[in-house]
Every structure is written in C-alpha cells, then in structure tokens.
Structure 1
Amino acid sequence: MHSKFVEDKVLFLLQEALSEDVKNVGSNDDLINLGLDSIKSVSLIVALESTFDITFEDGELLFENFSSINKIVEIVTGKLVPAT
C-alpha cells in the first residue's frame, strides 16, 4: 500500500482521536504535545487496526511507536508489507 495513502489515513485517524486539526503538525513532532495521552492512544490504535485490518502485538504497543506521524506510518506500513 502506498505510504502517502497510509499517511493520509493516519492523519485522518489522528485528527479524530485528538479532536484537533493536525494539518500543521510536522511528521516528527511529538504527539504528546498535541494531547495524545494513553486513552487517546488506545482509541487511535483501535482505529488503525480496524482501518488497515491489522493487529498490533503486545510488544508493539509502546508509546514510542506511536509518538509521531512518521513512527505511526512506519509501523502501519510494516504491517501491510506481505511476508515473503
């Protein structure tokens, strides 16, 4: 799946989770500064799993994996790449 498509979906889901406009957020900005707390993180993770039909393993559910747009796109894209 094209990373631009993934990034656009991640931005949409992040905006929903934060109830904030994220179009001016940098790809590496720390999302905790935008109000991404543990409750909103869970909401975002559930939305990512549902939207992309993926499952995060317990060991992946670390805040640092979801602390920036780039990190979220990276982990989601990694889940979408077919295993060889």
Structure 2
Amino acid sequence: MNQTAMEAVIIEHVKQILPQQIEIEPTTKLLETGIDSMSFIRLVVLLEEAFNIVIEDEEILLENFTSVETIRNLIQKCLDSKQ
C-alpha cells in the first residue's frame, strides 16, 4: 500500500472518532481536533484492525500520534517489522 492510500485509510478512521466533523489533512495536529483519551485508544484498535498489525504498548506515545503523517510512519514501521 502506498503512502497516499495509507493516509486515506488513517484519515477515514480519525474522522470516525472525532467529536465533530472537520477537515483532516496529513499534517493536521490531531491533539487540536478535540480527540480525547478514550477516542485515542479506539483509534489504536481501529488502526490495528485496518492494517492487521499490533501496535506495541511502548509505541503508543503521543509523539507517534501527533498527525496522520506520524501515524503513517508508525504503521509502516509495524508493517516492516512483520516481514
């Protein structure tokens, strides 16, 4: 899956958990969108299911979830480690 397709899937899942519908770009700062801790955990589960990966507990850090780009990088790292 290329980066653009991966970002589209991530954006779709981010929009599912947000309290209001806003435009999400790859560089949107997700902490400024109103995402709360329960939504954050829900996002992790949705992404694990969508990409058939396991995001290890030590990888669940704010720095890995600041934007769609940082999430994409984390998912790519998880996918690469599966191979």
TM-score by length of 2: 0.85
- Percent of residue pairs bearing the same amino acid type: 28
The residue number in structure 2 matching 1:6 is 6
Kindly provide the amino acid, as one letter, of the partner of residue 17 in structure 1. Answer: I
> In structure 2, do the counterparts of structure 1 residues 82 and 64 end up closer, same or farther at CA, with 3 Å as the change threshold?
closer
Residue of structure 2 equivalent to 1:35: 34
Q: Report the Cα offset of residue 27 of structure 1.
A: 2.4
Instruction: Give 3-state SS (helix, strand or coil) of 1:81's partner.
Output: helix
Stretch moving more, 14-23 or 29-38: 14-23
Q: Quickly say closer, same or farther: Cα 1:38–1:46, change in 2 above 3 A.
A: same
1:82 & 1:56 partners in 2: Cα distance? 11
Instruction: Return the offset for 1:19.
Output: 4.2
**Any stretches of 5+ residues in structure 2 without a counterpart?**
none
Segments of 4+ moved more than 4 angstroms: none
TM-score by length of 1: 0.84
- What is the root-mean-square deviation in Å for CA atoms of aligned residues? 1.8
**1:22, 1:5 → 2: CA distance?**
20
Q: Cα distance, 1:81 vs. partner?
A: 2.6
In the alignment, which residue of structure 2 is the partner of 1:76?
75
Contact 2:7–2:26, Cα closer than 8 Å, also in 1:
no
Structure having greater relative contact order (Cα 8 Å, sep ≥ 6): 1
